[in-house]
Chain A
Amino acid sequence: MTTHRQPRLAARREALYAWAFVAPSLIGFLVFFAVPSVRGLLMSFTDWDLLRPAKFVGVANYVRLFGDADFRHALKVTAYYVLMNIPIQTMLALGLAVMMDKFSKSTVIRGILVLPWLLPNIVVALIWLWLLDPTMGFLNQIIMGLGFQRQPFLGSIDQAMPTIAAINIWRHAGYTAILIYAGLQTIPKELYEAAAIDGANERQMFFGITIPLLRPVLVFVLVTTIIGSFQIFDTIAITTKGGPVDATRVVYWYIYEYAFVRFKMGYATTISVALFAILITITFIQMRYFNANSSDLD
């Protein structure tokens, strides 16, 4: 009897302590993550300006969203940004990672590479806004010194978005390189030795061994950077504020305008739910397409 009851009592005590340990985090989770997620979804079916009570409008916001040319423009601009940012950034990072793996495992180099990622977005944006200033920016002094015309960069409709993409490549390429570098360390070196004995050249080894074995890391990197990229905001808030002439009015900026400039909370949450749906879909396709969970090492 006692031998049976003793462990059960201990188990109950353990569960009680466990609940006490989890309780603060659970409160934080419910109040600031779970409930707001649900509330956001509910708000997307309302019309609410924060002054009068929210009015339920059914799917009206979603119907409106489908016909909203400004939203389509925002999506297009965002996609343009992502397409300029991600491929170049990932290639650069992959190149850097392979170079580090081959020629230098120095922590100092890795440290310097990751530095831009540790700086606030706001600061990065300010620094580049100054460096890229159309008249006084240092980069234009170099460009003119080399005998070319000065460039408007953030001030021009055509150049603003590519410039913002370049700024974010500067901030993220090193960080991404470090992640890929860490992935490279997990590839067994014997594979390369065996391939070399079989007469494989550098290029064959890269495409035959490195890339396939790096696939899970590359998928992870792509998924996270693409999700982050779709949520570009801080840089735009400092540099262009959506301009010139809507050239950089990305989805997140559009949401921000609706929520905190026009105070249309219902429609703003509708757009954010749509953005969330788009991100989930992209992630799902990527995971499926690249078969992210299985490594070729097995």
Chain B
Amino acid sequence: MSRAQTRTAPTIQLSRILAWVAFALVMLVTLFPVYWVLRTSLSDHKEIYVQTAVIWPVGFTLDNFKRVLGMFTAEQSVAMGGTATGINFWLYLRNSFVVSTFLVAGQTFFSAMAAYAFARLRFPGRDQIFFLYLTAMMIPGVVTLIPNFILIRDLKWLDTFQGIMAPGFLMTPFTVFFLRQFFLGINHELEEAATLDGANIPTIFWRVALPLSIPALSTLAILQFIATWNDYLWPFLVGKKEAVRVLTVALAIFQSQTPQGAPDWGGLMAGTALSLVPTLVIFLVFGRRAVNAIQFTGFR
């Protein structure tokens, strides 16, 4: 029995129509800015500033993409309203991929190991350490940001991939917590059977527990991948140099380089569009799982 059925027919109709109008409006407001990125990036760089009210790409072209992917010379680029400094989004895409992939791989694996121990094994200090991790979940990033920057600087890891990846590579309190909750929820029986068969703890973890947790691990990895991909301030502080520059940092630098008064919106939106590709792909492939995971993580 739904609540709606207890009401009279005409009001149901009206409220339903109003609700769908509202949904449609919200969808429009949500999706339009993303469309505008595409529209601008596919438009001619001069027309963008003239035909400001046209919904469709004006003077359809792929030049903006070619430009930010470094397929034109500096002179050509300047002639097209861009900057002379080399902009190579292939490199930034690669850097973002390297950082996000390795960071999330390490983070997920080491967090899973710790989470398994917290969920399944008995050892002195277990509850105390776990409590410390929980406490750390409440400390905002701003507190550790400056000391971590100084640590990376002292290690001479500025402008290196390891410098960008280090703070989250071995764990985050949240990933350990998330996976511990998961391990607590799965059935012991297979693990107990393996113990009776004489398997030791690493074997059980590797052969039994991990294969069972692939859905949870991949969901967490997807969310953390997106979070890492989106991160800005940390990679900006420790990895400005071109060789390790990730996409978000590249976009911010690109924006600050554009000549005053006439930002290179064609190029900027092309770069933006490129930075959205992985998120959109992940989103289309794992949409349902991602939405459910977000719902779940909300209740950490």
Contact = CB atoms under 8 A, between A and B. Distances in A.
Interface of A: 11, 13-15, 17-19, 21-22, 24-29, 31-37, 39-40, 43, 50, 96, 99, 102-104, 107-123, 126-128, 130-131, 136-138, 141-142, 145, 170, 174-175, 178-179, 181-182, 189, 192-193, 196, 202, 205, 217, 220-221, 227, 231, 233-234, 237-238, 252, 255-256, 259-260, 265, 268-269, 272-273, 275-276, 279-280, 283
B22 to A, nearest CB: 6
16 contacts: A17-B200, A17-B201, A19-B123, A24-B110, A24-B113, A25-B133, A28-B110, A32-B168, A34-B132, A112-B30, A119-B276, A196-B3, A217-B299, A220-B298, A265-B150, A280-B138
B123 A14 contact: yes
A58 to B, nearest CB: 19
A193 B4 CA distance: 10
Contacts of A237: 232-233, 252
B23 A122 contact: no
A126 B136 contact: no
B230 A120 contact: yes
A25 B268 CA distance: 39
A228 B143 CA distance: 14
Contacts of A25: 110-111, 113-114, 133, 170-171, 176
Given A121-B232, A131-B33, A170-B29, A28 B283 contact: no
B117 A111 contact: no
A120 B201 CA distance: 40
A118 B226 contact: yes
B176 A121 contact: no
Looking at A21, A24, A103, A260, the one whose CB has the most chain B CB atoms below 10 A away is A21
B184 interface: no
Given A37-B139, A111-B283, A276-B139, A32 B36 contact: no
Contacts of B116: 21
Contacts of B233: 233-234, 237, 256
B7 to A, nearest CB: 8
A136 B294 contact: no
A120 B298 contact: no
Interface in B213-232: 226, 229-232
Given A130-B269, A234-B232, 5 more contacts: A24-B170, A26-B114, A111-B288, A122-B248, A126-B272
A187 to B, nearest CB: 11
B141 interface: yes
B251 A126 contact: yes
A279 B287 CA distance: 33
Contacts of A27: 170
Nearest to A54: B150
A22 B113 contact: yes
Interface string B113-134: 1101110011110100100110
B114 to A, nearest CB: 4
Contacts of B23: 99, 103-104, 109
Interface in B230-256: 230-233, 237, 247-248, 251-252, 255
Given A37-B143, A237-B232, A112 B201 contact: no
B217 to A, nearest CB: 15
B151 to A, nearest CB: 7
Contacts of B255: 126, 238
Interface residues of B, number: 97
Contact of B268 (A22, A115, A130, A256): A130
Nearest to B142: A272
B53 interface: yes
B248 A123 contact: yes
A26 B34 contact: no
Given A43-B146, A96-B26, A114-B294, A130 B229 contact: no
Contact of B36 (A18, A130, A181, A196): A130
Contacts of A50: 150, 153
Given A25-B110, A96-B26, A272 B295 contact: no
Contacts of B126: 18
A178 B299 CA distance: 11
Interface string B1-45: 101101100000000100110110011011101101100100000
B205 interface: yes
B40 A130 contact: yes
A75 to B, nearest CB: 14
A40 B123 contact: no
A293 to B, nearest CB: 13
A112 B27 contact: yes
